[in-house]
């Protein structure tokens, strides 16, 4: 994330419940992905879970971007 985006998140995270939810979810998904990526071998179910988590993280990132875009326009 760019420095400006991180500054906007820091500024608005306590004021915007939706932004806070997506940022927290993004962090949780990142931790789960790190756990799976740290394994030397993944089962078929874990591979499916990995792909699902990546899609969820990307969708959350898109939502965060959408929210930040509104704040950028207002500044």
User: Residue 73: is its pLDDT beyond 80?
Assistant: yes
Q: What is the domain partition of the chain in residue ranges?
A: 3-74
What angle is formed at CA 63 by the lines to CA 67 and CA 49, rounded to 5 degrees?
Answer: 160
User: Residue 1: is its pLDDT beyond 90?
Assistant: no
Helix (H, G, I), strand (E, B) or coil at 28: helix
Chain length of the chain: 75
pLDDT band at 74 (very low <50, low <70, confident <90, very high): confident
Dihedral angle over CA of 33, 39, 44, 50, nearest 10: 10
Helix (H, G, I), strand (E, B) or coil at 71: helix
Residues 8-67: tens digit of each pLDDT: 999 999 999 999 999 999 999 999 999 999 999 999 999 999 999 999 999 999 999 999
Instruction: Enumerate residues 6+ apart whose C-beta is below 8 A from 44.
Output: none
The per-residue pLDDT for 26 is 96
């Amino acid at each position: 994330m760019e420095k400006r985006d991180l500054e906007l998140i820091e500024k608005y995270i306590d004021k915007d419940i939706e932004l806070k939810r997506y940022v927290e979810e993004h962090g949780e998904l990142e931790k789960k992905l790190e756990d799976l990526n740290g394994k030397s071998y993944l089962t078929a179910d874990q591979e499916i879970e990995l792909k699902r988590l990546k899609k969820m993280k990307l969708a959350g990132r898109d939502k965060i971007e959408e929210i930040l875009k509104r704040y950028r326009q207002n500044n």
